[in-house]
Amino acid sequence: MRKIFFLFYTLFTSVPGFSQFLDFETTDFTKPDSIAALYENFDLKDQQKLTSLLTKDLSSDVEKFRAIFKWITNNISYDVVLYDEKKKKEYQFKYKKRKLEKWKKGFDKRLLKRLIIGKESICSGYSSLLETMCGFAGITCEVISGYGRNELDRMGYGVIDHAWNAVFINNKWYLSDPTWAAGYVNEDFNQFRKRFNKNYFLADPFFFALDHYPKNPDWLLLTDKPTLKYFLNSPYKGEGFITNKLNHYKPTEGSIKLKGDSVITFAFTSNLPPDSLKKVSVDLYSKSKFSFKHFRSEVFPLKVDQEGYYNFNLILKEKGLIRIRIFIGRKLAFTYEVFSR
């Protein structure tokens, strides 16, 4: 039986990233949140009036931004039908630039109409609305375009198809994603479910860079910037990575090739107090013709090595393309893909 162990690699670091995230860690957002709830279902045809109602009784820019952000995440739903159409047309007109541009003009008009009347949109609608309303409130806000990773994306591949925001508050730039903060789309990608995710509001750039990579890397707001190749090739990191304050990990590559009947050692460090993490649960999926199908689940106790890494060994005897999902508690921490010969 072959044993596979991957060498240490330092995850990109960001001193200012953590300090920015902590700037508002103790801020009480009860008042702006209650104001956002008060104007639920307000007509979007007069965005300037809505912005005034949301911010007129708030004194600080961060509170004003919070009220605007929460109103958007509370009231705008993700339009899975529109997104599906967009992806199909982009593929259809992949090599027909003029036809694609013509289609986009009509699409952008429908996108705006669906946003204002139906309060449904995709990422470009969310981010543009946040930019517009911040402008009415006197807050500098930019739309940032780039790569957004989700668990279903192929390891190592990506396109610029996502948009989020950078906002300037108290002489600092912060990152926020109103689309992903608003909720999530189910695994079949046919239904949007609202659930506020605080990790995408005035986010720690370190964690934001796990699933966002801007077209202009300066908008990472990191001192040490990961490369796009590193971003796309690393394993997918989920909510469990953030909530358990994980940082260094191995394997560092999200796509692994090996021979069958092997042992893979997975390891990671955490900023939680020592011995805080006790076990992980692992789900394994095999690639069928059109999708991955679950075939095995296991629970592993975590050991701690001399370098302070939590680790466990997974014996993999199956062959073919295997997706490995690692959970800490009930939250997904990592997703890897292994091709076993």
* pLDDT at position 164 over 80: yes
* pLDDT at position 143 over 90: yes
pLDDT in tens, 28-52: 999 999 999 999 989 999 999 999 9
Look at strands 262-270 and 2-4 and give their pairing: parallel
* pLDDT at position 21 over 70: no
Q: Within 13 Å and on the Cβ side, how many CA atoms surround 303?
A: 8
Q: Kindly state the tokens that stand for 217.
A: 């890397």
* pLDDT at position 19 over 50: no
Q: Output the pLDDT for position 270.
A: 96
Q: Where are the beta strands (DSSP E) in the chain?
A: 2-4, 77-78, 120-121, 140-148, 162-169, 172-176, 183-185, 192-194, 212-214, 236-237, 246-250, 255-258, 262-270, 279-287, 292-301, 303-304, 310-316, 320-328, 331-340
What is d(CA 231, CA 74) in angstroms, rounded to the nearest whole number?
A: 30
Least confidently predicted of 31-45, 168-182, 204-218, 277-291: 277-291
Higher pLDDT, 22 or 210: 210
Q: Kindly state the tokens that stand for 53.
A: 């109602």
Domains and CATH numbers, the chain: 15-233 (3.10.620), 240-340 (2.60.40.10)
Mean pLDDT, to the nearest integer, of 163-189?
Answer: 91
Q: Output the pLDDT for position 102.
A: 84
What is d(CA 6, CA 25) in angstroms, rounded to the nearest whole number?
A: 35
Higher pLDDT, 226 or 10: 226
* pLDDT at position 8 over 70: no
User: What are the two backbone dihedrals, phi and then psi, of residue 315, each rounded to the nearest 5 degrees?
Assistant: -85, 125
What is d(CA 20, CA 173) in angstroms, rounded to the nearest whole number?
A: 9
What is d(CA 308, CA 168) in angstroms, rounded to the nearest whole number?
A: 38
Q: Three-class SS of residue 337? A: strand
* pLDDT at position 277 over 50: yes
What is d(CA 308, CA 306) in angstroms, rounded to the nearest whole number?
A: 5
